[in-house]
């Protein structure tokens, strides 16, 4: 019965992709959904893109073990990131009438930095997508008995089809459906756990005092890990394409900002539910924490203590979360490839051909992701490393370039090169303080020093002057 429902759900997902494809006429329709998304669509797609398997399986075990320091970094930090983007970044960038983060680097600096930033952005995604394909494979294996290798291929094919055909429209509609599935599955499972436990108060009984500390109380090692995680989840994602793909898809800047605020709210509230479920499970069945370092506590509870309808909803929610993350992560680099790499060098390319190449880029990104998923490399380590690379190389030129008029091309190059090399050196030699902290601080410092020592002779058009270039005037909310 579970297998039948899961297959039906996957077919429904593909059906939504084919239905959404009817709205794809231009490359803007494919990459930005025609710049017509409402607040609710922007917020939900932001949430669905970031809510993946780790929020259901990884975060609860860390919360049980580490307490509210884990809650601060794993739940509050991503919400804070979207809130900061909504308050400070969204309005300026939306008014620039751009499609990608690479477009910003081209307008603010030059084409060389556009290409460099785009390449760094693209190479950061396949490892993350590979991790999602592997997670899907494990679910397919557990639910319908598909071997892992075939499961990776099956998951990739499903995401490729509806992303290739429907683009941002398909991602938006499927994200909405998948978010509803996620919320229903988690609420029903939490209700089951609360009934067995006799109330939420029992979840927190006999917890040590340190469990409630938001900040680490140990030495330099714990502070290093804490700060590195905070930078990774609250600061590192600020320049990533997947956020601005949704911001630039909004029908107006008000919908973009409010969508970010809605996404921030969803990223704090809904990921808190698995934490409560995990805490209740550890209280009721402590032996489950021994399996897979506690990462399998929620799936184990579902199989052992819930009815078939609840299992269907839960597995549907899990698959939904991973599909949403995969599709958003695949569309972002494909858009960057089309807009900032192909379009930059293929002058005079028609919009129809650009649309085709952007769609083909989805397949290329998926192929590289499958390669990493099939290999024996440490995917989790590569994901962390690739995200750190964006933080130490792109955050400083992106943020200083947006808010500081003296930010120069030389300063941007200094930030990219210094941050990257310092991070790589510290990562290679396993310094006691996390490599991302060194790379981040020195990248920002290099940005300032390089801009002051070698200022631009002629400043480019300032972002606030780009209002007149807005593609569509503000429409109704």
Q: How confident is the model at residue 385 (pLDDT cuts 50, 70, 90)?
A: low
What pLDDT score was predicted for residue 383? 53
**Which one is predicted more confidently, 404 or 140?**
404
User: Does 194 fall in a domain?
Assistant: yes
What pLDDT score was predicted for residue 399? 97
User: Does 415 fall in a domain?
Assistant: no
Q: How far is CA 374 from the centre of its chain?
A: 22
User: Does 422 fall in a domain?
Assistant: no
- List phi, psi (to 5°) of 330: -80, -35
CA neighbor of 107 nearest in space, from 350, 471, 465, 389: 465
User: Does 58 fall in a domain?
Assistant: yes
Q: Are 269 and 190 in contact (CB under 8 A)?
A: no
Output the CA–CA distances (angstroms, integers) from residue 171 to 135, 174, 309, 475, in the order listed: 19, 5, 26, 23
User: Does 469 fall in a domain?
Assistant: no
pLDDT, tens digit (0-9, with 9 covering 90-100), for 246-279: 999 999 999 999 999 999 999 999 999 988 888 8
What pLDDT score was predicted for residue 63? 86
CA neighbor of 195 nearest in space, from 275, 277, 316, 271: 277
Output the CA–CA distances (angstroms, integers) from residue 154 to 282, 324, 380, in the order listed: 33, 15, 21
User: Does 433 fall in a domain?
Assistant: no
User: Does 155 fall in a domain?
Assistant: yes
User: Does 456 fall in a domain?
Assistant: no
Question: What is the CATH number for 246?
Answer: 1.20.1730.10
Full domain range(s) for residue 88: 2-378
Whole-number Å distance between alpha carbons of 130 and 225: 25
pLDDT, tens digit (0-9, with 9 covering 90-100), for 321-380: 788 788 888 888 999 999 899 987 877 888 888 888 898 999 999 998 888 887 754 444
The secondary structure element, H or E, covering residue 267 is: helix 253-269
pLDDT, tens digit (0-9, with 9 covering 90-100), for 82-99: 999 999 999 999 999 999
Count of all residues that appear for the chain in the document: 477
Whole-number Å distance between alpha carbons of 69 and 261: 23
Count structural domains, the chain: 1
What pLDDT score was predicted for residue 235? 93
pLDDT, tens digit (0-9, with 9 covering 90-100), for 150-163: 888 888 888 888 78
pLDDT, tens digit (0-9, with 9 covering 90-100), for 91-120: 999 999 999 999 999 999 999 999 999 999
Q: Tell me the pTM.
A: 0.85
């Amino acid at each position: 019965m579970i297998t039948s429902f899961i297959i039906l759900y996957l077919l429904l997902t593909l059906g939504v992709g084919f239905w959404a494809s009817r709205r794809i006429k231009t490359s803007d329709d494919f990459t930005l959904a025609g710049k017509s998304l409402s607040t609710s669509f922007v917020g939900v797609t932001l949430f669905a893109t970031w809510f993946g398997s780790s929020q259901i399986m990884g975060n609860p075990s860390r919360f049980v073990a580490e307490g509210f320091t884990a809650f601060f970094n794993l739940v509050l930090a991503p919400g804070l990131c979207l809130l900061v983007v909504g308050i400070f970044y969204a309005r300026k960038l939306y008014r620039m009438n751009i499609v990608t983060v690479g477009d910003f680097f081209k307008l603010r600096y030059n084409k060389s930095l556009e290409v460099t930033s785009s390449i760094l952005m693209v190479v950061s995604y396949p490892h993350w997508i590979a991790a999602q394909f592997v997670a899907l494979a494990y679910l397919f294996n557990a639910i319908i008995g598909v071997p892992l290798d075939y499961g990776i291929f099956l998951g990739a094919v499903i995401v490729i089809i509806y992303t290739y055909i429907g683009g941002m429209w398909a991602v938006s509609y499927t994200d909405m459906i998948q978010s509803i599935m996620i919320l229903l599955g988690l609420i029903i499972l939490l209700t089951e756990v609360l009934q067995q436990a006799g109330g939420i108060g029992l979840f927190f009984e006999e917890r040590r005092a340190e469990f409630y500390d938001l900040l680490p109380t140990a030495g330099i090692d714990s502070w290093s890990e804490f700060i590195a995680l905070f930078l990774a989840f609250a600061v590192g994602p600020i320049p990533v394409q997947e956020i601005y793909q949704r911001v630039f898809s909004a029908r107006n800047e008000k919908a973009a900002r409010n969508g970010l605020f809605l996404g921030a709210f969803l990223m704090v509230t809904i990921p808190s539910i698995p934490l409560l479920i995990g805490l209740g499970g550890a209280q009721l069945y402590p032996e489950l924490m021994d399996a897979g370092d506690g990462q399998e506590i929620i799936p184990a509870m579902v199989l052992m203590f819930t009815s078939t309808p609840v299992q269907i909803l839960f597995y549907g929610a899990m698959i939904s979360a991973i599909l949403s993350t995969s599709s958003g992560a695949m569309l972002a680099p494909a858009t960057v490839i089309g807009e900032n790499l192909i379009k930059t060098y293929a002058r005079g390319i028609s919009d129809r051909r650009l649309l085709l190449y952007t769609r083909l880029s989805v397949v290329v990104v998926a192929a590289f992701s499958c390669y990493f998923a099939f290999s024996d490399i440490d995917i989790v380590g590569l994901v962390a490393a690739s995200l750190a690379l964006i933080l130490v190389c792109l955050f400083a030129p992106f943020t200083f370039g947006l808010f500081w008029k003296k930010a120069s091309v030389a300063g941007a190059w200094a930030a990219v090169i210094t941050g990257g090399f310092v991070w790589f050196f510290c990562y290679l030699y396993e310094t006691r303080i996390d490599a991302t902290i060194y790379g981040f601080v020195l990248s920002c410092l290099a940005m300032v020093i390089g801009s002051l020592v070698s200022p631009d002779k002629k400043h480019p058009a300032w972002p606030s002057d780009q209002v007149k270039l807005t593609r569509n005037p503000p429409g109704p909310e």
